Amino acid sequence: MTTSPALPHDAIVLQNVEKQFGDHVVLNNVSMSVSSGEVVALIGPSGAGKSTLLRCINLLERPTSGSITVEGVTIQVDHSIKAKELAALRSRVGMVFQSFNLFPHLTVLRNISLPQQRVLGRSQAEAEERAMTLLERVGLADKAKQYPGRCSGGQQQRIAIARALALDPKVMLFDEPTSALDPELGLEVLAVMRELADEGMTMVVVTHEMQFARDVSDHVVVMSDGAILEEGKPHEIFASPSQPRTRAFLRAVLDRQ
């Protein structure tokens, strides 16, 4: 498959994705697509299935049925998934977690260089050069030799973003990237994400940061009870949500902010 970076195409397509834990339906027949270069904010009350949906995109969570396409790699989950397909899919997707999940036993530099060497086969020199470029970009070049435990939460999250970007993903997934951070530390992370969005990275962001969803995203998806309640342009969703459930949710979060 050939794709021209200039023309928007479907970067992510989810079709009829279902996820059940026993009797409990977490995702109920969810379909959505994300164009290349688009920033999608996934919002909704907790327990709505936002994180589960996000984790299905790189198959950290395996859906019960449905299909997932990321940048031309399609996986039908009812079939057995080949390790090769899974690797191909994951190589296209970078992920940032709420709890950062940096490797505590490795220096900041090594956190970013090791995956490049092991996954992409880059040389150590090459991987470290790329790591330093990214660390400079997130403003943390001086932390390269430190261990993650010595860094603040906001710094750790920026390092985690650099680690994911080092593998040259086509798509970045963010699972509540600022929820574990103090508000002012969250801001430095949001600034990095805003820059990424401006550069045209395809992003799916599960977030409770309504300001970010409103200002940075191109598209807002509201989830509730394992299904998509409504979706649209941020100004539509925030100004005139069509669903009463969305209105109630937005009122609750916006009142708090």
Partner 1 sequence: MTVDTWQIVAQGILGTLQLTAVGFALGALLGLPLLVLRISAAWPLRALARTYIEVTRGVPLIIWLFLIYNGPTQIDPALGSVFTSWRSAVLAIALVSAAYMAEIYRGALRAVKQGQFEASRALGMSRLDTATRVIGPQMVRVAIPSSASYAIGLLKDSSLASTIGVFEITYYASVASSNTASVTPFFVAGIYYVALTFPSAWAARSLEGYLMKRTA
- By CB under 8 A, name the binding residues for partner 1: 58, 60, 87, 90-91, 93-95, 97, 99-105, 114-115, 118-119, 147, 149-150, 160, 163-164, 167
Q: Please report how the helices 108-115 and 124-137 are oriented relative to each other, as an axis angle in degrees rounded to 10.
A: 120
Q: What is the Cβ-side half-sphere exposure of residue 204, based on CA atoms within 13 angstroms?
A: 30
Q: For partner 1, which is the closer residue by CB, 156 or 217?
A: 156
Q: For partner 1, which is the closer residue by CB, 17 or 114?
A: 114
| Contact in structure between 196 and 94 (CB atoms under 8 Å) | no
Smallest distance, Å, CB 63 to partner 1? 16
Q: Please report how the helices 124-137 and 153-165 are oriented relative to each other, as an axis angle in degrees rounded to 10.
A: 130
| Contact in structure between 197 and 216 (CB atoms under 8 Å) | yes
d(CA 71, CA 13): 9
Smallest distance, Å, CB 179 to partner 1? 14
Smallest distance, Å, CB 248 to partner 1? 32
- 140: CB partners within 8 A, 6+ apart: 108, 151, 155, 158, 159, 162
Q: Indicate the DSSP class of residue 116.
A: I
What three-state secondary structure class fits 125?
A: helix
Q: For partner 1, which is the closer residue by CB, 43 or 59?
A: 59
Q: For partner 1, which is the closer residue by CB, 95 or 144?
A: 95
Smallest distance, Å, CB 131 to partner 1? 13
Q: Indicate the DSSP class of residue 252.
A: H
Smallest distance, Å, CB 13 to partner 1? 20
Q: Indicate the DSSP class of residue 150.
A: G
Pairing of strands 10-21, 24-35: antiparallel
Q: For partner 1, which is the closer residue by CB, 36 or 58?
A: 58
Q: For partner 1, which is the closer residue by CB, 160 or 229?
A: 160
Smallest distance, Å, CB 33 to partner 1? 21
